[in-house]
Amino acid sequence: METSITIPQHQSYSSSPSLSDDRLFRDNSDTIFSMTPDDGEPDDLPDRTEEATEFYAKYTAKEILGKGASSVVRLCVEKSTGREFAVKVIDVGGDHSGPEESKEAYEAAMKEIQALRALAGQPNIIELHDVFRSPAFIFLVFELCRKGELFDYLNNVVTVSEKRTRIIMGQLLVAVQFIHSRNVIHRDLKPENILLDDQLNIKVTDFGFAAMIPEGLQGDCLFDLCGTPGYLAPEVLKVSMYDGQRPYGKAVDLWACGVIMYTLLAGYPPFWHRKQMVMLRQIMEGKFDFSAPEWNDVTEVSKDLIRKLLTVDPDSRLTADAALQHEFFQIKTHLDLLVTPRTRLRRSFLTVQAAVRIRRLHLTPQPISPKQFQRDPYKIRVVRKIVDIGAFRIYGHWVHKGEEDNRADLFQNSIKLEMKNIQRKLLT
């Protein structure tokens, strides 16, 4: 029997009552490591009472970095060392939310603490530095990632090169490999939950939906619906929509990795439609393609890895171990090869010769014929990037290119939110 479900397209979702923020993509204060202060918001950090005494004794609180329905995140400085961190203050006493929201916030915080302690020491997973608990508040002190979210990075660069994608996906899959080795499933991997440090290394964060697999259990054992719609694996949707479906397991994180890789290379996700149920059908059927102009410059090796990650059958989908052994990650450099001094000298000459030729190409770029420009300007890579960046700066979202090929999914609500704010101001 089929069951109808409705999920907010841009927010993380749990089958239990969800915590959502008024701002797009900011549910559960997942932007806690962004370096953009939220100066226009009221200060919700607890007063220096018994609830915050332990925290204040060790840290000095600074400006607000982000806010959620039941939490506020601030920059803080450790008094003994002067090091900067991000503290997430979660209201579990119900002062700023209802009892159900507070209960869910408490459970999510406990789950996140448990998962992060089990995963401590992995360089591509966010470090939980300190925890303070009280009856009304929980303080989670995290390392500070100054470059913000991978989502924001993608907004600025539009698309990511294959070389950079190889680094990002390599680090992500190593993190997933480690997470799964500890019998943990993240269940909400997406660019908003991946942070970047000063060297642009990734840090996986937000383990509020993580599932800890009990020892002794092998295989798939989960049935609950949680995550973000565009990144949900087909088996997660099927188990929530149809009776008699098998449970799901670790493979759901690899599906999300495939969606992330597709988004990095193309600048838009593989599954999107204005009608939510149509998008969910696309996911369950694995309907995506590489027909857009953005994919003309992407190698077949990259596409092959995406196909094997976005495989509908979880048993046929690549594991993290298998994905890291894919040809996409096996490209060797000069340092991997044993060469003689004579070969090194010859390669040095060839490198200089190539550099000179590249410099000349840079100074004298290939001309674009008027006919080619008139026929399909968007197919030209340089023009396409200029058009995309210009359109986003003007409209606040990507220009629609058609019903089936649409990049507006990440940004489509920004204009609506701005119009609501304008109408609110006019009414007052």
CA 114 – CA 117 distance, rounded (Å): 5
Q: How many domains does the chain have?
A: 4
Does a structural domain hold residue 219? yes
Does a structural domain hold residue 23? no
263 and 204 inside one domain: yes
For residues 397-418, give the mean pLDDT: 51
Q: Tell me what percent of the residues of the chain surpass a pLDDT of 90.
A: 40
Is a pLDDT exceeding 90 seen at residue 70? no
Query: Which residue numbers belong to the known binding site?
Result: 88
Q: Which of 26-30, 187-191, 408-412 has the highest mean pLDDT?
A: 187-191
96 and 177 inside one domain: no
Does a structural domain hold residue 18? no
CA 200 – CA 171 distance, rounded (Å): 11
CA 331 – CA 326 distance, rounded (Å): 10
Confidence of residue 34 (pLDDT cuts 50, 70, 90): very low
| pLDDT score, position 143 | 93
| pLDDT score, position 39 | 46
Report the phi/psi class of residue 82: left, alpha or beta, with left for phi > 0 and alpha for psi in -120 to 50. Answer: left
pLDDT digits (tens, 9 = 90+) for 278-298: 999 999 999 999 999 889 989
pTM over 0.75: no
Is a pLDDT exceeding 70 seen at residue 339? no
CA 287 – CA 275 distance, rounded (Å): 15
Residues 6+ apart with CB under 8 A from 14: 104, 209, 224, 225, 226
Tokens of 424: 């609110």
Residues 6+ apart with CB under 8 A from 416: none
321 and 340 inside one domain: no
For residues 327-342, give the mean pLDDT: 67
Domain that holds residue 409: 370-427
Query: Which residue numbers belong to the known binding site for ATP?
Result: 88
pLDDT digits (tens, 9 = 90+) for 89-116: 888 876 656 677 778 878 888 988 999 9
325 and 345 inside one domain: no
294 and 376 inside one domain: no
pLDDT digits (tens, 9 = 90+) for 219-260: 778 898 988 899 999 999 999 888 888 999 999 999 999 999
Tokens of 21: 């923020």
Residue burial 353-374, b: 16+ Cβ < 10 Å; e: rest:
eeeeeeeeeeeeeeeeeeeeee
191 and 262 inside one domain: yes
Is a pLDDT exceeding 70 seen at residue 24? no
Confidence of residue 52 (pLDDT cuts 50, 70, 90): confident
Question: Coil, helix or strand for 294?
Answer: helix
Residue of higher predicted confidence among 19 and 167: 167
Is the Cβ–Cβ distance between 254 and 262 less than 8 Å?
no
| pLDDT score, position 11 | 53
- Reference 168, options 138, 189, 185, 146; nearest CA is 189
Does a structural domain hold residue 12? no
CATH code of residue 170? 1.10.510.10
Confidence of residue 419 (pLDDT cuts 50, 70, 90): low
pLDDT digits (tens, 9 = 90+) for 190-220: 999 999 998 999 999 989 889 988 876 777 7
Q: In the listed set 122, 143, 164, which residue is the last one of a domain according to the structure? A: 143
Query: Any idea which residues carry the catalytic annotation?
Result: 188
| pLDDT score, position 53 | 84
CA 312 – CA 93 distance, rounded (Å): 42
Residue of higher predicted confidence among 414 and 330: 330
Longest Cα pair distance anywhere in the chain, in angstroms?
Answer: 78
Tokens of 318: 């690549």
382 and 345 inside one domain: no
